[in-house]
Each structure stands twice: as C-alpha cells, then as structure tokens.
Amino acid sequence: MDRSFTAMVIDTVDGKPKGLFKDLSIGDLPDYDVLVEIAYSALNYKDGLAITGKGRIARRMPMIGGIDLAGTVLESRSPKWQPGDKVILNGWGLSETEWGAYARYQRVKAEWLIPLPEAFSMQEAMAIGTAGYTSALCVDALEKWGSIKPGEGEVLVTGAAGGVGSVAIALLCAQGYNVTASTGRPQTHEYLAMLGATGFIDRATLQEKGPPLQKERWTGGIDSVGSDTLVNALAQTVRGGAIVACGLAGGADLNGTVMPHILRSVTLIGMDSVVAPLEQRLAAWKRLARDLDKEKLNKMTTVEPMSKLPQLAEDIIAGKIRGRVVIDVA
Ligand code: NDP
C-alpha cells in the first residue's frame, strides 16, 4: 500500500523552524509496527509553537507536526492491535522526536496507542486531546494530594478560556469543586460560567508583582500560564494547599520565593503528560468519560480543516483561541 497524502511538516526555513504543507506517501513513514489511518488531530499550544517556529518543539527536521491523533488501525505487526481497531494517541514525543498527526497516515509504536474510549467518538476524543487529558491528569493529582474538597474553598484555574483551562473547569465542577476562573478575556465569562465557574478574576491581577505571602485564598489550582501568575497563585494558596503547574502560556520563568512552601506547607505539583505511564493515562480518560459533560465539550469545540493550521497556530500563540480546536486531517 503506498498512498500519497498531504502533511503539515515542520522544516527549516531561513534558519528557523516553520510549518509547511508537503506531499508524502506511506513509504516515507517510519518503520514502526502500527499503521494508523488518522481521522482527526487537534490544535494544542505546543502545536502552535511548532508550526510558527516560536518554540523549538521539533528536535529533528523534517518533522510532521501534531501531538494528538484519533484513527483506525490499517496494518499491525503487533499482537496488541488488529486492523479496524479504533485508537487514540496523546504525546509520546509526536511532533518533537517522532513524526506526528497532521497527516492522513502515520506509523507508530504499539505501546503509544490506547483504545478509543467507548464514551467518545474520534472527534470528541480530539476535542479533548492533550489539553483535556492533561487537565484530567491535573485534577487526579490534586485529588491525590488531598488538599481540595468538593464544596469547600475555592480552586483556581488560570488560562481559563484556553484548552487546558476549559476542560479543567468542566471536570472540577462536575465533582462539586468551587472554581474561580482567571482570564484576560472578560467576554468569555458567560462561556466560563456555562462550564461551571462561579468566580472570576482578571488575569492581570495575577501578573502584578506581589508580596511573597498574600491573603490565603486557593485550596488548590491548575495553572497553564506559569511565570508571575504561578508565583502569585502559590503566594495566595491556603496552608497545606497545592497548585499543579502544567503550562507556560504566560512565560517559562518562575521568579518566586520559598515562603509559601516553608511557611504554609504549600506544594507545587508538576505535570508532564507527554510520557505519562499507561495506568495514569487510562485513569485520566476514565475521569473524562465519567465527568466531562458532552454538551459542554461540544460548546468548547470547533472543527477546522488542516489547511487552516498556519493561521490557527498564530491564533493560539496570540491567546485568541477559545476552548478546543479539532483538526480534520481528511
Ligand atoms: P491555549 O492557548 O488554549 O490556552 C492558554 C490560555 O492561557 C489562553 O487561552 C489564555 O487564557 C492564557 N494566556 C495566553 N497567553 C497568555 C499570556 N501572555 N499571559 C497570561 N495568560 C495567557 O493553550 P493550551 O490550553 O493548549 O495549553 C496551555 C499551556 O499548557 C501551554 O503552555 C501548553 O504548552 C501547556 N500544556 C502542557 C502540558 C503538559 O503536559 N505539561 C499538556 C498540555 C498543555 P485567557 O484568555 O482565559 O486568559
């Protein structure tokens, strides 16, 4: 079988990485065990960094972009998968060290795939994608830490109208947590309230330099912004509380003090979804299947063709995307 298809490929242009459309065929793909016919991928912040070249995501060129896929197994040399199986893949270095999902076909390692959860269609699974699955990992981590209790205190979600933020709010609210959304877009308040947020703060207030210990407010939090936002979130966290850091939409620096940690036992939990072990992935998808309201998921999702990726990549880096974008690779 050697069909040709168009892929979004990150390559070097004028000395910098940039996403370009290129025609490839199945024979060009890596020699991994499972050939997947991809139905949908997604747009994540990291995809935006890779395509625009504003972040060095691809570690070798040329690199097919796209960190998420949902599709059907066409061929398999692994006993784990049979032709016709519906599968998803999140992370595992796709678009970084391994060819990714912005293509009709891809060959991948058998152990990177998980079955498409029964609760979701392929399009819904990609509406969740890495952003949503990471939100579920973050909620799992907060609950495991034990500082948040349904109905008690406030849980902070930063970057609220983005992909991670939107799914995090929906998941937390489904379990009865009181969520305060930090956003720079007041026009999204109605949307965030629809997802379940009951409190709102202007993200600018979390970006001002503040004292190392501030009024205790958050029992927990999920932060996709980083930098001063994370420093202030920690400084406002109650004794024994925890914030999960998973993103850098506002900056990768962390110029804070140890005060919240040594005087209030505040914990900073890190989250990397890319190489999360299978058990954690399955638990996160189980939470998503149980707690993510389909109507809310629908309202946070738009579906776009691959041809729009260059513009969408600019938009996500500029903080203009609300919720999640599914990419139809057909
Ligand atoms: P989105 O662009 O969808 O969401 C990011 C949100 O952050 C925006 O919608 C905006 O929310 C806010 N924001 C954007 N720019 C700024 C800024 N300059 N200052 C402050 N806030 C800003 O991206 P994703 O949800 O896909 O990803 C969010 C972050 O999480 C990214 O850094 C991404 O790389 C990271 N991530 C990490 C993962 C991991 O495994 N650790 C997995 C998935 C994502 P608003 O308009 O509401 O203020």
* 283 Cα to the center of ligand 1, angstroms: 23
For 192-244, the pLDDT digits (tens) are 999 999 999 999 999 999 999 999 999 999 999 999 999 999 999 999 999 99
The whole-number pLDDT of residue 1 equals: 65
Q: Are strands 154-157 and 324-328 parallel, antiparallel or unpaired?
A: unpaired
* 137 Cα to the center of ligand 1, angstroms: 16
Best CATH choice for the domain 4-116+300-328 from the list 3.40.50.2300, 3.30.300.10, 3.90.180.10, 3.40.50.300: 3.90.180.10
For residue 225, how many C-alpha atoms fall within 13 Å in the half-sphere facing its CB?
A: 30
Q: Which residues touch 327 (CB under 8 Å, ≥6 apart)?
A: 40, 41, 42, 43, 66, 102, 126, 303, 304, 305, 306, 309, 312
**Cα 61 to Cα 154: distance, rounded to the nearest angstrom:** 45
246 lines ligand 1 (CB under 6 A): yes
User: What is the complex's ipTM, to 2 decimals?
Assistant: 0.99
**Cα 328 to Cα 123: distance, rounded to the nearest angstrom:** 8
pLDDT, the chain, mean? 97
Show me where the domains of the chain are located.
4-116+300-328, 131-270
Residue 113 structure tokens: 């795939």
Reported residue count of the chain is: 330
* 160 Cα to the center of ligand 1, angstroms: 8
Residue 204, phi-psi category: left (phi > 0), alpha (psi -120 to 50), beta (remainder): alpha
The whole-number pLDDT of residue 102 equals: 98
Question: Counting atoms of ligand 1 from 1, which one is nearest the CA of 249?
Answer: 32
The CATH topology of domain 131-270 is Rossmann fold (3.40.50)
271 lines ligand 1 (CB under 6 A): yes
Residues of the chain above pLDDT 70, percent: 100
Site to substitute for ligand 1 among 54, 128, 164, 301, most atoms within 8 A of C-beta:
164
For 74-92, the pLDDT digits (tens) are 999 999 999 999 999 999 9
For 181-201, the pLDDT digits (tens) are 999 999 999 999 999 999 999
Question: Counting atoms of ligand 1 from 1, which one is nearest the CA of 185?
Answer: 46
CA 186 to chain centroid: 22
The whole-number pLDDT of residue 330 equals: 85
> Structure pTM?
0.97
